[in-house]
C-alpha cells in the first residue's frame, strides 16, 4: 500500500536512510526524522489496528521523533508520534503494537482536547512543542525545552497548565480497553501491551525521572490488573508473534540503535562476534555515524552479499558512499534501492539528490524526473522541492527552478522568500500557464501570510 506521510516540515532537509535521520539541533529538543524503512514498518504494524478502530489507515499519520526518552502521543487529530526511545525500549514487536493500539484507543475514543483552532493553525513542530512543552510545565521539566513558553502561547489559555495530551485515568483505562479490543479483532494477543506496561512500572520504581510516557499516561495498578485479566481470559493468549513482523521490527530497531547510540554502546549490544543480520545492520549504521567508512562498507557489503536486492541495504550503501564523497559510485546503489521499491518516495529522493550532485548532464535530467515523482507523492516536502529547484537550475530551467524553490520556501514557512521566488518565476513563464498560475497562488498565499503576521 502506498502511503503518504504529510509533514509540516520545520527546517529539515530530510532524505532517505541513515542520511535521513538528521542529528538533533539541541539535546533538549526532539527532532522529527524520516526513514523509508521505519515508516513502512510502522505503517505495516499499525494499519490493521487502525482499520479495526474504524479509521482510514491512510489518514493516520505516523511520525518518528529522535528522542531517547520513552514516549508516544497523539496530537492534532489523527497524528501518532513515536519516540526512538520507545522503539528502543520495546523488546519485541508485540510490545510496540500494544502501545500503538493504546494510542489508537485515544484517537478512536475522541480523547483529544477540543482545541480545534490551535490544532488547525499548528504545524507538526508546534504540535510537538505544544504537547511536550506543556508536559514540561505539568510534569516538572519533562523536556527542558526553552520553547515551552511559546508552546503555551500557541496552545492558548484553554490548555491551562496541563499537557495537551495528559489524559485522565478514566481515559487511560478506556484506551486500554479499546486497544485490547482492536488487538482481539486482528487476532493478536494483548500480552505485548501488558509486558510494556510492566516495563514502564519497573522503570517508575527504579528511575528518579520517570519516562515522559508516564507523565502523559498515568500508570496505575488497576490498569495493569485489568489488562492482565483480559490476557488471562483471552483465547489469544500465547498466540505466537508474526515472524515476519518480528524480523522487520528487530531490523528497524537495530538500525535506530546504530543511529542514535554512541559507537561504543552499539558495539556492546551488537559485538563484532555477532554475525546476525540486525547486528551487522546496526554496526554499519553506527560506523557510518562515527565516520569509519571502510568498516561501514564492510558490514553493509556482507549484508548485500546475502541479500543483493534488499532496497534498504542498497540505500544504506548509497548513503555511505555519498557521505564519503563518492557521489557517482552512490548512484548505482540508490538505483538498485529504487528498482526494488519504486513507490518509496524517500528512496527516490536520495537517488535524485545523488544524480543532481554528480552534475553529469544526463544524470541531472534523470534527477529532475525522479524528484518530480517525489513531489507528486509528497507535495509538502520542502527538501524535495529544494533539490528539484537545484536540479532545474543545473539544467538551465531558471523559471522552473524559481518555482520549485518557492514551493520549498512556502512549505518551510519562509513567506518572504517564497513570494520573491514566485514573482521571479512568473516573469519567466507564459502568462496563464500552469506554472505561472501556481507561482501566482504561492505569491498570494505568501502575501496573505505576511499580512497576518
The 72-75 sheet, strands edge to edge: 31-33, 61-66, 79-83, 72-75
CB 386, CB 375: distance < 8 Å: no
For residue 275, the model assigns a pLDDT of 97
Q: What is the dihedral of CA 231, 235, 239, 244, to 10 degrees?
A: -110
Contacts of 447 (CB under 8 A, 6+ apart): 419
Which residues does residue 64 pair with via DSSP β-bridges, in sequence order? 33, 82
Alpha-carbon span 353 to 59, nearest angstrom: 29
Residue 135 predicted with pLDDT over 70: no
Q: What is the pLDDT of residues 259-288, one digit of tens each?
A: 999 999 999 999 999 999 999 999 999 999
Tell me whether strands 31-33 and 72-75 are parallel, antiparallel or unpaired. Answer: unpaired
CA atoms of 270 and 182, how far apart (whole Å): 35
Q: Give the model confidence (pLDDT) of 162-189 as tens digits.
A: 344 556 778 888 999 999 999 999 999 9
CB atoms closer than 10 angstroms to residue 420? 17
pLDDT value at position 130? 57
Domains of the chain: residue spans and CATH: 17-243 (3.30.2010.10)
Q: What is the structure's pLDDT at 452?
A: 52
pLDDT at residue 344 greater than cutoff 80 = yes
pLDDT tens-digit series, residues 82-132: 999 999 999 999 999 999 999 999 999 887 654 444 455 455 666 566 555
Which residue would you say has higher pLDDT here, 23 or 347? Answer: 347
Task: Identify the helix (H) or strand (E) that includes residue 97.
Answer: helix 93-108
φ, ψ dihedrals at 8, nearest 5° = -90, 90
Of all residues in the chain, the percent with pLDDT exceeding 90 is 67
What's the predicted TM-score (pTM) here? Answer: 0.84
Over residues 215-243, the pLDDT tens digits come to 667 777 888 999 999 999 999 999 999 99
For range 25-29, the mean pLDDT:
48
Amino acid at each position: 500500500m502506498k502511503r503518504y506521510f504529510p509533514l509540516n516540515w520545520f527546517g529539515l532537509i530530510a532524505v532517505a536512510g541513515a542520511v535521513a535521520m538528521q542529528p538533533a539541533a539541541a539535546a533538549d529538543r526532539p527532532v522529527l526524522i524520516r526513514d523509508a524503512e521505519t515508516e513502512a514498518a510502522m505503517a505495516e504494524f499499525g494499519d490493521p489496528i487502525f482499520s479495526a478502530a474504524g479509521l482510514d489507515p491512510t489518514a493516520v499519520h505516523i511520525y518518528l521523533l529522535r528522542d531517547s526518552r520513552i514516549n508516544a502521543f497523539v496530537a492534532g487529530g489523527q497524528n501518532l508520534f513515536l519516540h526512538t526511545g520507545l522503539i528502543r525500549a520495546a523488546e519485541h514487536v508485540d510490545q510496540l503494537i500494544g502501545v500503538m493500539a493504546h494510542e489508537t484507543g485515544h484517537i478512536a475514543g475522541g480523547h483529544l482536547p477540543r482545541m480545534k483552532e490551535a490544532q488547525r493553525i499548528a504545524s507538526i513542530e508546534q504540535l510537538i512543542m505544544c504537547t511536550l512543552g506543556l508536559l514540561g510545565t505539568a510534569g516538572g521539566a519533562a523536556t527542558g525545552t526553552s520553547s515551552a513558553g511559546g508552546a503555551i502561547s500557541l496552545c492558548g489559555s484553554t490548555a491551562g497548565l496541563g499537557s495537551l495530551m495528559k489524559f485522565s485515568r478514566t481515559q487511560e483505562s478506556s484506551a486500554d480497553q479499546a486497544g485490547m479490543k482492536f488487538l482481539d479483532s486482528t487476532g493478536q494477543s494483548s500480552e505485548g501491551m501488558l509486558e510494556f506496561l510492566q516495563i514502564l512500572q519497573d522503570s517508575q520504581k527504579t528511575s528518579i525521572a520517570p519516562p515522559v510516557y508516564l507523565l502523559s499516561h498515568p500508570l496505575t495498578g488497576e490498569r495493569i490488573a485489568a489488562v492482565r485479566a483480559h490476557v488471562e481470559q483471552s483465547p489469544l493468549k500465547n498466540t505466537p508473534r508474526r515472524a515476519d513482523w518480528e524480523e522487520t521490527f528487530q531490523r528497524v530497531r537495530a538500525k535506530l540503535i546504530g543511529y542514535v547510540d554512541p559507537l561504543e554502546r552499539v558495539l556492546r549490544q551488537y559485538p563484532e562476534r555477532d554475525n546476525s543480520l540486525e547486528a551487522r545492520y546496526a554496526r554499519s549504521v553506527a560506523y557510518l555515524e562515527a565516520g569509519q567508512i571502510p568498516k561501514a562498507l564492510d558490514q553493509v557489503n556482507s549484508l548485500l552479499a546475502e541479500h543483493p536486492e534488499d532496497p534498504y541495504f542498497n540505500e544504506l550503501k548509497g548513503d555511505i558512499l555519498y557521505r564519503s564523497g563518492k557521489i557517482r559510485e552512490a548512484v548505482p546503489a540508490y538505483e538498485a534501492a529504487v528498482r526494488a521499491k519504486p513507490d518509496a518516495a524517500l528512496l527516490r529522493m536520495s537517488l535524485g539528490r545523488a544524480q543532481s550532485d554528480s552534475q553529469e548532464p544526463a544524470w541531472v535530467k534523470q534527477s529532475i524526473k525522479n524528484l518530480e515523482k517525489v513531489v507528486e507523492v509528497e507535495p509538502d516536502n520542502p527538501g524535495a522541492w529544494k533539490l528539484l529547484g537545484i536540479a532545474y537550475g543545473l539544467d538551465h530551467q531558471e523559471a522552473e527552478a524559481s518555482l520549485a524553490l518557492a514551493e520549498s520556501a512556502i512549505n518551510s514557512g519562509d513567506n518572504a522568500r517564497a513570494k520573491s521566488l514566485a514573482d521571479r518565476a512568473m516573469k519567466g513563464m507564459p502568462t496563464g500557464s500552469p506554472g505561472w498560475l501556481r507561482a501566482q497562488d504561492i505569491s498570494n498565499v505568501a502575501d496573505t501570510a505576511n499580512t497576518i503576521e
